[in-house]
Structure formats: C-alpha cells, structure tokens
Amino acid sequence: MKTEEASLLQLYSYWRSSAAYRVRIALNLKRLPFQTIPVNLVKQGGEQLGEAFRAINPQGLVPVLRHEGLVLTQSMAICEYLDERFDQFPLLPEDPVDRARVRAMALQVACDIHPLNNLRVNKYIKDHCGENLDTVEWMSHWMRKGFTAIEQQLGERAGNRRVYYGEDPGLFECFLIPQVYNAERYGVEMSAFPAVVQIVAHCRTLVAFEEAAPENQLDAVPV
Ligand SMILES: N[C@@H](CCC(=O)N[C@@H](CS)C(=O)NCC(=O)O)C(=O)O
C-alpha cells in the first residue's frame, strides 16, 4: 500500500446517521481530511445488512473508520482513537476529572438517548408492537428525557459558556449536535432546553459543523 493510501482516513457513513455525523464533526474539528464511503441504510432494506458490509462491521452499523489497515467501529471509540492518535485540536480536556465529565455528557447521548431512536430498534418495535405504539412519540420521549437531564447539568456550569467545557467545542458537542438534528427531524420542541439550544446555535456557525451536516454530505437526498 502506498504511504498516502495507508494513512488515508476513510469513513463509512450515511448522511442521516447521527452516529456517523459525530465522527464527521470530530474529524473536521481535528482538521483531518477524510474520504467518505456512503452506506445506504434504507435502500433495498439497507446496505448495512448485506454480506459485504457485515464483513467490515459484523454489527451492521455505521460509522466505521478505516485507517492504516485498521477497521474501527463505534463512534465513541473512533473519536477517542482520533484524539489519541492525532495531537492537534484536542476533543477532550487534559484533567482526568474534566475528561470524565465530558465523556459522561457525551455518553448520555450515545448510550441513553440514541440507541432508543435507532432504525433497527424502531423497525423491531413497529413489527412487534403494531399500531399501538407511536414510534415518533417513543423516540421523542427518550430524547426529551435525555435533554432534560443534559439541560440541568449545563445549567449547573459556572458562567455562560458557548460550549460545555472550555472555549471550543469538543467531544460532547460532537455527540450533542447530531442528536439535536434528530430531535428537530422528529419535531421535538427544543425551546424547553435553552442551554442546549445556545450551544447548538454557536456550533452551527462553525465550518467544522457546517461541513459535517447531513444535508452537505455527498450521499444526501433532498427532502
Ligand atoms: N453505538 C453505535 C451506534 C451506531 C448506530 O446505531 N448506527 C446507526 C445509524 S445512526 C446504524 O447504522 N443503523 C443501522 C440499522 O439500524 O440497521 C455508535 O456509536 O457507533
């Protein structure tokens, strides 16, 4: 493999995948150029479930990062890998306590909100709970619950910061902004979460977030 090929960062992504969106933001914040390999999660039942993609990620989920012959899965693990492997523009603070706090905020999105909104979970409940379950209300319920707790924690910070920690967006914002994109997509009323809205408004003025946005991806479909 040529050197430039070996060091190339390749991201298996779907434009509307909020987990892939997190990694796109992290790559942009760290000013790391990357190549996008689109995986269509909806076409013909989903490319992620086909043999070819499952050979790359047996979980059948995006994102996947390829780098130097490695195949990495799970958005949190990928973001932390990028942060540890490339020094520039750190996503996490240096202090272990601060690092734990930022991770805890990001994990609230990754573990306690997003999995309950995911395509395969919603497909399962649609297939098994039939007409009785309103899947949009199901997703919205978990988003509202998660944002309520996040809002409270943001309110407990000292000062009126533009981001959760420090001056610049980091790991938490990589996770928060895609989740808010999902919330808006499903009509969750965000005005109940002013501190979240303030951080999102600031991040959306930044090129790293703009370029990572779903509508700006090469596989985006006009809606
Ligand atoms: N915990 C995983 C979640 C990945 C995930 O759920 N990806 C979704 C898109 S946001 C997916 O590929 N869904 C395909 C499916 O549900 O079939 C991560 O953070 O990377």
Q: Does 179 sit in the ligand 1 pocket, CB within 6 Å?
A: no
**Ligand 1 contact, 188 CB (< 6 A):** no
Q: How sure is the predictor about 42, in pLDDT bands with cuts at 50, 70 and 90?
A: very high
Q: Which atom of ligand 1 is nearest to the CA of 73?
A: 20
For range 114-126, the mean pLDDT: 90
| Residue 219 pLDDT > 70 | yes
Alpha-carbon gap, residue 41 to 47, rounded angstroms: 6
The predicted model gives 117-145 an average pLDDT of: 89
pLDDT of 4 strictly over 60: no
In this predicted structure, the answer to whether residue 158 has a pLDDT above a threshold of 80 is no
Q: What is the pLDDT of residues 170-182, one digit of tens each?
A: 999 999 999 999 9
Ligand 1 centroid–CA 70 distance in Å is: 19
Q: What's the pLDDT tens digit per position in 52-90? A: 999 999 999 999 999 999 999 999 999 999 999 999 999
Q: Is 41 in the pocket of ligand 1 (CB under 6 A)?
A: yes
pLDDT of residue 1: 47
13 C-beta closer than 6 A to ligand 1: no
Using the mean position of ligand 1's atoms as its centre, give its distance from the Cα of residue 48 in Å.
10
Predicted confidence (pLDDT) at residue 5 exceeds the cutoff of 60: no
Ligand 1 in reach of 120 Cβ (< 6 A): yes
Q: How far apart are CA 26 and CA 75, in angstroms?
A: 10
The single-letter code of the amino acid at 196 is: V
| Average pLDDT score, the chain | 94
Cβ of 19 less than 6 Å from ligand 1 = yes
Pairing of strands 64-67, 10-13: antiparallel
The predicted model scores a pTM of: 0.96
